[in-house]
């Protein structure tokens, strides 16, 4: 069981341009608002997931955190929040292996989630 903390990726806290380019390719002229709709849905989901993570700070439960991490892993990757996606994958794997969730793991996910949320909001409101 690996109980090492989630390693932050300071350079990866911004959204990956390659992932954003893939989203733009779905609606090249932007006439259908695909990018805005995807980012808005991600923003709404991430806000809810961050609230649930904050509730786990006092007494982290691996099964709850594993579920949250699973939920965020793919959606974060699809919008380019790669550092958050990698942290979610690591936490999900540790939770499945039965590792005890640590408060610092939750705090790290929250920090990465807030960075991703800020980046998404910059694009949406920019």
For the chain, the domain total comes to 1
Domain that holds residue 98: 14-125
At 3 the pLDDT is 40
Domain of 32: which CATH number? 1.20.120
Residue 100 lies in a domain: yes
Residue 121 lies in a domain: yes
Residue 92 lies in a domain: yes
| DSSP character string of the chain | ---PPPPP-GGGSSPPHHHHHHHHHTSTT-TT-HHHHHHHHHHHHHHHHHHHHHHTSSS--HHHHHHHHHHHHHHHHHTT-HHHHHHHHHHHHHHHTTPPP-HHHHHHHHHHHHHHHHHHHHHHH-
At 73 the pLDDT is 96
**Rounded distance, CA 67 to CA 65, Å?**
5
At 101 the pLDDT is 74
Higher-pLDDT residue of 31, 1: 31
Residue 48 lies in a domain: yes
Residue 6 lies in a domain: no
**Rounded distance, CA 1 to CA 16, Å?**
30
Residue 9 lies in a domain: no
Q: Encode pLDDT of 11-51 as tens digits.
A: 344 899 999 999 999 999 989 999 999 999 999 999 999 99
pLDDT-derived band at 5, boundaries 50, 70, 90: very low
Considering the entire predicted model, what is its pTM? Answer: 0.85
pLDDT-derived band at 6, boundaries 50, 70, 90: very low
Q: Given a cut of 80, is residue 8 above it in pLDDT?
A: no
pLDDT-derived band at 4, boundaries 50, 70, 90: very low
Residue 8 lies in a domain: no
Q: Encode pLDDT of 65-123 as tens digits.
A: 889 999 999 999 999 999 999 999 999 898 888 887 778 888 999 999 999 999 999 99
């Amino acid at each position: 069981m690996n109980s090492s903390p989630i390693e932050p990726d300071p350079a990866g806290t911004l959204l990956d341009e390659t992932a954003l380019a893939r989203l733009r390719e779905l609606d090249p002229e932007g006439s259908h608002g695909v990018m805005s709709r995807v980012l808005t849905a991600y923003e709404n989901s991430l806000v809810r997931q961050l609230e649930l993570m904050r509730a786990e700070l006092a007494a982290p439960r691996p099964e709850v955190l594993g579920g949250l991490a699973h939920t965020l892993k793919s959606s974060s990757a699809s919008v380019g929040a790669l550092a958050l996606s990698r942290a979610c994958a690591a936490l999900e794997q540790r939770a499945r292996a039965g590792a005890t969730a640590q408060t610092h793991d939750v705090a790290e996910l929250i920090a990465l989630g807030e960075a991703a949320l800020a980046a998404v909001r910059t694009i949406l409101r920019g």
